Amino acid sequence: MSDAKAAPGFTPDEMMTIAASRALRDDDVCFVGIGAPSAACNVARLTHAPGITLIYESGTIGTAPDVLPLSIGDGELCDTAVTTVSVPEMFRYWLQGGRISVGFLGAAQLDRFGNINTTVIGGYGQPKTRLPGGGGAPEIASSAGEIYITMAQSRRGMVERIDFFTSFGHGEGGDHRQRLGIHTKGPTLLVTDLAVWKPDPVTREFTVVALHPGVTRDRVAETCGWPAKFADRLEETPAPTDLELETLRDLQARTKAAHARNRRQEAV
Amino acid sequence: MARFLPLGRAVAENLRDGDTAAFEGFTHLIPTAAAHEAIRQGFRDLTLVRMTPDLVYDQMVGMGMAKKIVFSYAGNPGVGLLRRFRDAVENGFPHPIEIEEHSHAAMANAYEAGAAGLPCAVFRGYRGAGLAEVNPNVGSVTCPFTGEVLAAVPALRPDVTFIHAQKASRRGDVLIEGIIGVQKEAVLAARRAVVTVEEVVDDFDGLHPNLTVLPAWTVTAIAVVPGGSHPSYAHGFYDRDNAAYLEWDEISADRDRFRAWMEENVMRKSDGDFASRVSHLRKARR
């Protein structure tokens, strides 16, 4: 809440989505994870990257939804896609075939090397919390050209050690990917509600390179479960433009209205 | 050759206790009516296979029908976790279940290998992934030409696959449109296949020549169940009932409330009740 006060006019969540959207380019082919990545990818498409190809794992290629899908398989994604392929084809030809430039993922648990856990909290055999699992993420993490991650900061989410390696990032850091025979770049960007992080070129540890407007180093450090490192030259993320903010809010308003429609009809 | 049967008979004749069964659908065209019929008939010790086990697998697990789940993403799509599945995995309620967990790429490849008559699927995957360490059914093979080490998983070959589709022709060919998921592979990989459809048409003459069609001789039984994939959707027929997915999060959170809901909405109902469940969702589309 204090962050919203420090930066009037937009929320930390809005800043996160918009900062994440800016990383995408017009010629990217992006494999979109559900949730926060989906919002960021569609804001990019509706602002600076109209030519971007958005792909959801349900098989929809080049989709342009008017509202954010609740699931990765909503009909809206198919209706607006250039083509819809089967799930085996999606994973074999398009992802494994090397056609995806960016995989955009969220995370339940993340460590400093961009390794992601969405499988279990606690031990695998006797989990404290059984999460949904990896879905497409394990192979997105290794087959997409590079990986962008977006999530809100918290000590529960950004942890010293993840409980399970659902998706491999930079492992123990350094050249761990290469040693496992993974030739894609892996995580190159982390956008949170407070900051933009990039991996150190040598150690591959995520390092804060920009703070969002009004955010302090202390705030970033205290909401991160590992000792946060900061770049020597720390930048400030440019505040959302009117166009970005309006695009995001319109998208979210349309989404909310569309998803509430069923209930109203049911009540009638 | 496909036979048109009432759903009750189609399920009774093709599912047995102890079977490995896939009720496939990737968010779209979930075979809910077939799963509910299986629940009413009270099968036991099933190995349930599905890439994205959602509400119907939560229901079958909660009713104690599953011995084992083979899956790659066990969530309430767009909402969160599967609470009956969690209760079984975390607390052994109503009884412990075995899990065999894969990635989507692995499951999709494994179905394809099943359809292709291969013993295993080979793909570039599981590198650095924790599942490779906890799932003994993740192996590797070395490419004899390049030396590249690739992941291998056993082919999936269900005893029976259930899917929901838009249309059947009178002679029993089946048409699937929209997000087609892994249904074609799941049908061709299985020994028996049961399809529920929205409607029967005379023939598919004049339609686009490259549509996804399962010829009648690849299907064991067809049951006509309009609305049979509610609360998921049938492209061109009715929209997804997002509210029902949100409500399931609350219903499934409590063991007693779950039982009461199942009694009222599944055990005392029939496949004939599905059409009315989608009537308000048809209006949204047409």
Check which CATH number belongs to the domain holding A200 and give it: 3.40.1080.10
Domain tally, chain A = 1
Write the pLDDT tens digit of every residue in A164-197.
999 999 999 999 999 999 999 999 999 999 999 9
Task: Report whether pLDDT(A229) > 50.
Answer: yes
Q: What does the pLDDT average to over B103-127?
A: 98
Domain containing A222 equals 2-267
CB contacts, 8 Å: A69 with chain B: 78
Write the pLDDT tens digit of every residue in B66-99.
999 999 999 998 889 999 999 999 999 999 999 9
Q: What does the pLDDT average to over A41-66?
A: 97
Q: Is this complex scored with an ipTM above 0.85?
A: yes
Q: Examine the residue annotation and report whether A57 is marked as an active-site residue of this protein.
A: yes
Write the pLDDT tens digit of every residue in A79-123.
999 999 999 999 999 999 999 999 999 999 999 999 999 999 999
Give me the residue spans of the domains in chain B.
3-101+157-280, 104-154
Q: Report the share of chain A in percent with pLDDT over 70.
A: 94
Helix axes B32-41, B55-62, angle to 10 degrees: 10
Give residue A73's region: left, alpha or beta (phi > 0; psi -120 to 50): alpha
Q: Does B280 touch chain A (CB under 8 A)?
A: yes
pLDDT at A260: 74
B83–chain A nearest CA distance, Å: 9
Contact B240 A130 (CB under 8 A): no
Write the pLDDT tens digit of every residue in B187-244.
999 999 999 999 999 999 999 998 989 999 999 999 999 999 999 999 999 999 989 9
Helix axes B255-262, B242-251, angle to 10 degrees: 130
pLDDT at A72: 83
Task: Report whether pLDDT(B120) > 90.
Answer: yes
Helix axes A12-22, A242-267, angle to 10 degrees: 110
pLDDT at A262: 58
Helix (H, G, I), strand (E, B) or coil at A2: helix
What's the predicted TM-score (pTM) here?
Answer: 0.95
Q: Does B85 touch chain A (CB under 8 A)?
A: yes
Task: Report whether pLDDT(B268) > 70.
Answer: yes
Task: Report whether pLDDT(B54) > 90.
Answer: yes
Q: What does the pLDDT average to over B130-141?
A: 97
pLDDT at A36: 83
Q: Report the share of chain B in percent with pLDDT over 90.
A: 95
Q: For residue A268, what pLDDT band results from cuts at 50, 70 and 90?
A: very low
Q: Which residues lie below 8 Å from residue A181, measured CB to CB, with a gap of 6+?
A: B127, B148, B149
Q: Count how many pairs of residues, chain A against chain B, have C-beta atoms within 8 Å.
A: 193
Q: CATH homologous superfamily of domain B3-101+157-280?
A: Glutaconate Coenzyme A-transferase (3.40.1080.10)
